Structures are given as structure tokens and as C-alpha cells.
Amino acid sequence: MSSLDRYYRVIQKPVITEKASGDMGARNAYHFRVPVDANKIEIRQAVQALFDVRVTNVNTLRAPRKWRRRGYGIGQTRQWKKAMVTLAEGSTIEVL
């Protein structure tokens, strides 16, 4: 597996929410859904390689699992990780 394949696996999809949209304008930060085993260094390298921008900061969080019911069945949602990537001044990413 080449490094470019791993980069595409690390950056799964952008997280488009009201809060994320506010960060795009205020802090020049973009939110992405990433695998649980991805670390900040991999996320930084993937964003820089795929979007050709300079990353200044990477913050991550693991979303909590929630209990869900469907009929008689009960289970938990999948665990996932979100990365908030702050870009250098003048750098932007076309998300949509």
C-alpha cells in the first residue's frame, strides 16, 4: 500500500455542521472524520499531501458511543474520531 492510499484512508470525509462551518471562517479550521487508529502526525501529513496546504495545528477527539434501540435489539453506535485541522494564513480547502 502506497502512502497516497493511506492518506485517502486517513481522511474519510469532511464533517459539515454549523459549528464546523463557523470554524472555517473564524479560525481557518476544517473538520474531518478519520479512523480511530489515526494519529495527529498522520492526519497532518495526509491533509498537507492531499490538499497542498500548510497545517499549523491538529486537534482530535473520539466521539462517544451511544446506545440505540431498534425494536427488541439494542446496541451501540460505532466509535469514530474527528480531527480539527487549522491551516496557515492564506490557505483554504474547497470542502464542497
Nearest to 8 by CA among 37, 51, 39, 40: 51
The verdict on domain 3-87 having CATH code 3.30.420.40 is: no
Residue 2 has pLDDT above 80, yes or no: no
Q: Which of 14-18, 37-41, 64-68 has the lowest mean pLDDT?
A: 14-18
Domain boundaries, the chain: 3-87
* pLDDT band at residue 96 using 50, 70 and 90 as cut-offs: low
Residue 40 has pLDDT above 70, yes or no: yes
Cell 446506545, residue?
67
pTM (2 d.p.) = 0.86
Q: What is the mean pLDDT of residues 4-13?
A: 91
The pLDDT score that the predictor gives to residue 50 is 93
